[in-house]
Structure 1
Amino acid sequence: MTREEKATVIQDLTATLADNTTIYLADISGLNALQTTNLRRACFKANVSLSVVKNTLLAKAMEASDKDFGELPELLKGNTSMMLSEVANAPAKVIQGFRKKSAKPVLKGAYIEETVYVGDHLIDALSDIKSKEEMIGEIVGLLQSPAKNVISALKSSGGKIAGIIKTLSER
């Protein structure tokens, strides 16, 4: 690979890092062709982009990026695959699901919404992270529940003051 090609790859990786807020680094070495194909299919179904990257080029792209990747450049040893997703827990769930059949992939680290996670022991915690949409749904549900209680109390009593007070006192 020539210097110009390397510079182009670094620019592309820097742009990719800038455009994504969920970046997982994993080791998929040791997987055979069939297992790698199955992993790629699982990633595609979960809307996760999987690509194998050269460690030195990714380290330079991280250095050139505006984001603070903390300890992640130090983890770039051996085989490294980059998993990108819009949903924070999607790559972790793909890794967990795939590890039911195989010991790989192993999570090296992750960058999620300006937070750096290092180590494979965090895979369970990362898979439990709720997406932005899930959090909004929970908040809306919590905000709606008191209003639903009042409305159901009003409907159940037929609108009579004594019935409303009785229903509310029971709750």
Structure 2
Amino acid sequence: MPLTRAQKADIIEQIGAKLDESPIIYLTNFSGLTVDQTNELRGRFREAGVDYMVTKNTLAQIALDKIEGMDALSEHFAGPTAVAFSDDPSKPARVLKDFLEDEDLERPELKVAFIEGELYEGHEALEELSKLKSREELIGDVVGLLLGPAQTIAGSLQGPASTLAGAIKAIADGEGEEE
């Protein structure tokens, strides 16, 4: 059953809102996947906190036309297209890479990843993006770097402080014996 104009307008609005809100957008070619494989992939994306949806290219392009700065994505909405929306550049790449390895498949393939205004295309880009650290991992690294010097300083201060206290005590004990 064909979509009504109102339904199409709603879909365009939904797609447009997601495209506008998401800093990370992955376009994939999902052709050749079975229903079970598609459901498995959707479940993995959901577990990772990534929104994943199949789109009608014409409706997605209409939505893109309304958003400034996303013209470069327009040409990639051709053929079977599914879109992954995320706040983390590595999560969709990791899900796709793990799925491809676990299922021993060549699809879904990355058409393009749109990350903070830059385009990354092809299998090589998927490999590199999957190696990026997540936001949580980067925060952990920064906290570790910030705590490291403080712990080193605290340890350094404890050593001389105890030595200094011992020296002062020895001097005080020595002075008391002379009198």
Give the TM-score, by structure 1 length: 0.84
Measured in 2, the distance between the counterparts of 1:75 and 1:83 equals 14
Question: Which residue in 2 is equivalent to 1:34?
Answer: 36
For residues 105 and 156 of structure 1, the distance between their equivalents in structure 2, rounded to whole angstroms, comes to: 59
| 3-state SS of paired residue (1:51) | strand
Aligned residue among 43, 52, 56 for 1:50: 52
1:146 aligns with 2:149: yes
Deviation at 1:155, TM superposition (A): 2.9
The Cα of 1:161 is off from its aligned counterpart by 4.1
> Counterparts of 2:152 and 2:75 in 1: how far apart (Å)?
54
CA distance in 1 between partners of 2:146 and 2:47 (Å): 33
The residue type paired with residue 96 of structure 2 is I
Aligned to 1:78: 79
Deviation at 1:108, TM superposition (A): 0.6
1:97-117 per-position Cα deviation (integer Å, ceiling 9, x unaligned): 011122111001112233222
Aligned with 2:27: secondary structure? strand
CA contact (8 A) 2:48 2:95 kept: yes
Calculate the aligned-residue CA RMSD, in Å.
2.1
Q: Identity over aligned residues, as a percent?
A: 36
Equivalent pair of 2:18/2:85 in contact (CA under 8 Å): no
Structure (1 or 2) with the greater helix fraction = 2
Equivalent position of 1:95 in the other structure: 96
- More deviation in 88-97 or 4-13? 4-13
State the alpha-carbon separation in 2 of the partners of residues 124 and 157 from structure 1: 50
State the Cα distance separating 1:162 from its structure 2 match: 10
The total of aligned residue pairs comes to 162
- The equivalent of 2:126 in structure 1 is 123
Query: 3-state DSSP class of the match of 1:108?
Result: strand
Unaligned runs of 5+ in 1: 164-171
Q: Secondary structure at the match of 2:75?
A: helix
With normalisation by structure 2, the TM-score equals 0.81
Partner residue in 1 for 2:176: none
Task: Give the 3 Å change call, closer, same or farther, for CA 137–70 of structure 1 in structure 2.
Answer: farther
Question: Structure 1 residues 114, 132: CA separation in 2 closer, same or farther (over 3 Å shift)?
Answer: farther
Structure ID, larger Rg: 2
